[in-house]
Structure 1
Amino acid sequence: MSNSDLVAFTGQGAAVWALVAAVFTLAGTVKGVIGLGLPTLSMALLAVWMPPAAAAALLIVPSLVTNVWQLQPWGTLSRITRRLAGMQTGIVAGTLMGAWCFGAPAGAGATMALGVSLVCYAAWGLLARPLKVPASHECWLGPLAGVLTGGITAVTGVFVLPAVVYLQSLELSRDELIQAMGLSFTTSTVALGLALAGQGGYSAPLLGVSLAMLVPAIAGMALGQWVRMRLPVPVFKRCFFTGLALLGIYMVLREIHR
């Protein structure tokens, strides 16, 4: 299904709109609870029944707005931006180069790659211990993590690996980590949007649908913040990562048996 086919498809009835909105509400809820997961979960669920490139196009506006929101407090943003400048440069370079080489994310095996990425991310979230990166290594590890993240973003539309692993290895405070993830995800969203536009995969109708999905995404974030006050976050994280693993396994098996 091409992006033009998707636009026509989304105009066929309220049921399709309700399904897409439900995905963004759920993804926003996860982000409201644990501070990440909106683009990952929305991309994973939408890609089950539409092309990965179209799913990536739909998440651009909700991802961008919610991640800019996560950049607060503004007073500390310049400091964290200077520290992570090499990583952000690497993200942009890796995303655009990956899109040029493989598509964005419409190359062969994009769905398979997305499924594998989800399984790896879930396994890390459930099993891995946080790493520690010495400050003296940030000058080269940051750009490398950025380039790798950008390449994976271009192929799959998901930009958590290895960005989140790297950021959690820097021993940032909780507030600094949330802001750093917001910065990284914002950069990745902008770079992915540029890559999609350069590949002709981001039309005005898709932009309109993406803009409309901002409402359920923000509503989901508000719900997630309410849930966070009533449910232990570690329990929620385990459920989230387990669900991602199962979804990734399903996507891989589906592609193998096609």
Structure 2
Amino acid sequence: MEQVVAGLALPMFLLAVAITLFAGFVKGAVGFAMPMIMISAFSSFLPPEVALSGLILPTLVTNLGQAFRDGVAAFVGSLRKYWRFLLATLVFITVAAQFVRDIPQPLFLALLGLPITVYAVLQLLGRSMAIKLEHQSRAEWGLGVVAGLYGGVSGVWGPPLIVYLMSIGVDKREMLRVQGVIFLLGSVILLSAHINSGVMTGPNAAFSAALVVPAVIGMLLGLRAGSHLNQARFRWWTQLLLVLTGLNLLRRAMGL
């Protein structure tokens, strides 16, 4: 009789643990990409709702540590500084999550993957894509809406935030903290929304909870590795990861 762990056959569960460990490492090193790696890899061998549920609790717990890494005062300061992006993201995660079973994901993935890939490639080539200060507020609202729409459907809302922070020239430490703050609150809303949508039911919730430990271990290892990256190298790796993320989203959109 085949052994079952958290609702999955043991080989599938162990594969999910290995993927989560790697995703946690990447998140610790550069501050994002955990849900993108997890949803992309999980979707290749798990049903969509199980794949989505698997990333929710690991993302929530690791974001908690990232958000408060500089203390409560810094956390509150980031809330005040980026409240537009945060508000737009949270509202539209809640809205989009209710349509997770109705919206064609290939279209959403293509519309997200293409601009991310183009942006990151241009950055790697040395092209300036900075948002002018007089347009910063509108960009914050607009990218927050985009992040929330995609986040509610796919569990991934990091790329629009990374694009915004890189465009306005945020330094490494602030970028990591702001990502944690917005990702944390978004994770809380995502969990609540998918409890309501029915995605986070008993077996799915157990699977998600089982992945928290490997996610935290991976993140701690990644934090140690990331501490050796200077600002220029940090931005380069972030841009490269955005390119790979965008290409992967396009691959998933085409069903490859």
Is this a same-fold pair by TM over 0.5?
yes
Root-mean-square deviation (CA, aligned residues, Å) is: 2.8
Alignment CA distance shift 1:186-1:230 (3 Å): closer
Alignment CA distance shift 1:46-1:115 (3 Å): farther
Provide the residue aligned with 1:248 in structure 2. 249
Instruction: Work out which of the residue numbers 116, 121, 145 in structure 2 matches 1:121.
Output: 116
Report if aligned partners of 1:148, 1:162 keep a CA contact under 8 Å in 2: yes
1:118 and 1:59 mapped to 2: Cα distance? 20
| Letter aligned with residue 217 of structure 1 | A
Q: Which has the higher contact order (CA 8 A, sep 6+)?
A: 2
Provide the residue aligned with 2:130 in structure 1. 131
Instruction: Work out which of the residue numbers 153, 156, 167 in structure 2 matches 1:155.
Output: 153
Deviation, 1:219, is 1.7
Partner deviation per Cα, 1:167-223 (whole Å, 9 max, x = no partner): 233333322221111111112212222221221111133222211101111221233
When normalised by structure 1's length, the TM-score is 0.81
Provide the residue aligned with 2:78 in structure 1. 80
After the TM superposition, which of the residue ranges 223-232 and 171-180 deviates more from structure 2?
Answer: 223-232
Deviation, 1:68, is 1.4
> Unaligned regions of 5+ residues in structure 2, if any?
none
Alignment CA distance shift 1:192-1:237 (3 Å): same
The SS at the match of 2:254 is helix
> Unaligned regions of 5+ residues in structure 1, if any?
1-7
Report if aligned partners of 2:21, 2:215 keep a CA contact under 8 Å in 1: yes
2:62 and 2:173 mapped to 1: Cα distance? 16
| Letter aligned with residue 223 of structure 2 | Q
Partner deviation per Cα, 1:80-116 (whole Å, 9 max, x = no partner): 111112221111211122233xx23x33422453365
Number of residue-to-residue matches in the alignment: 244
When normalised by structure 2's length, the TM-score is 0.81
Alignment CA distance shift 1:130-1:28 (3 Å): farther
Matched, 1:65 2:61: yes
State the percentage of identical aligned residues. 23
2:241 and 2:136 mapped to 1: Cα distance? 30
Provide the residue aligned with 2:192 in structure 1. 194
Deviation, 1:28, is 0.9
Matched, 1:25 2:31: no
Deviation, 1:127, is 2.7
